[in-house]
Structure 1
Amino acid sequence: MYLNTYPMPSPYWAYNPGWQHYYNHSRQEQKSYKTLQEALELIKKAVSGEREDELFYDYLISEAPTTEEKEIIETIRNDERKHNRMFRQIYQELTGQTIETPQNVEFEKPKSYYEGIRKALFGELGAVERYRDIRAGLPDRYHRDMVFEILTDELKHANKYNYILNLDARRSGKKK
């Protein structure tokens, strides 16, 4: 095995004590543009719409014209259930409290299946923006990594909804 016999140069901060202080200080005290309180409020809002979301996904699944589309929406719905559990866990671990979910929820049915898919697509994109703010306000890597998983799932869902809309466009004979 070949070993490099040349000495490795020291990093810049090793020669500049001011930079070393900045480097060590910034690693110890991570600043964020969102607070924990803001993140917790956004988590409560994300979880509070859980029942309405469930009814919405059930509607989309029941109206999907193909088995493939039903299966895609079912995987998205299952991910959303997982996200709700994860957000509840984060909230519980950070506050010691549970989030109450309202049970008497009204569901506004979309004008059509594809109007629902469009609504779902833009809902996923909006969730990415809100969840990005949640992630920024969390104090530790463990919980930020959980939200990162949720964020990447939301982006995946948006792509799946775009796929469904593309299928509809092809069936309708529309050009891209």
Structure 2
Amino acid sequence: MSPIAATFTVLATAAAMEFVAWSSHKYVMHGFGWAWHRDHHEPHEGILEKNDLYALVGAAISISLFAIGSPMLMGEGAWEPGTWMGLGVLLYGVIYTLIHDGLVHQRYFRWVPKRGYAKRLVQAHKLHHATVGKEGGVSFGFVVARDPALLKRELREQRSRGIAVLREAIGD
């Protein structure tokens, strides 16, 4: 595989992971996987959360792709794009960890952005946490954040239809 094709594969996989993360967050974590994700939405003691088990799932996907692409493990049956896709999943995991766990939840460092896209990411995720329980909610992505004003409007609409129970007023 050419270096350009490998680079494209890494970047395309990392970009595609935002859709994978969005859909798994909305339909798995806020669905049948709520038992692992619940403590992320509730006050808890300690550094680790059950929700952190999802990082192990992501790591297993990345490692599996690396293995599929490894001639050492797979011999002639190795599929080279697997290596580069595994690297893309890993890259997304690093970005996710820095943005979601680091910037938004401040597990690794303390910095509150005052403007720009970083502020938008933090606001969007705080609006995601504005609901009580797994029902309703907005902003299930981790790197792509929609306009907080639109998200507030969606939350108000969900509340008026009885879909979402909000923790507190979301402001106007």
Same fold (TM over 0.5): no
The TM tier, using the shorter chain, reads: 0.3 to 0.5
Higher helix share: 1
Which gives a bigger RCO, structure 1 or 2 (Cα 8 Å, sep 6+)?
Answer: 1
Q: What TM-score comes out, normalization by structure 1 length?
A: 0.32
Q: What TM-score comes out, normalization by structure 2 length?
A: 0.33
Bigger CA radius of gyration: 1
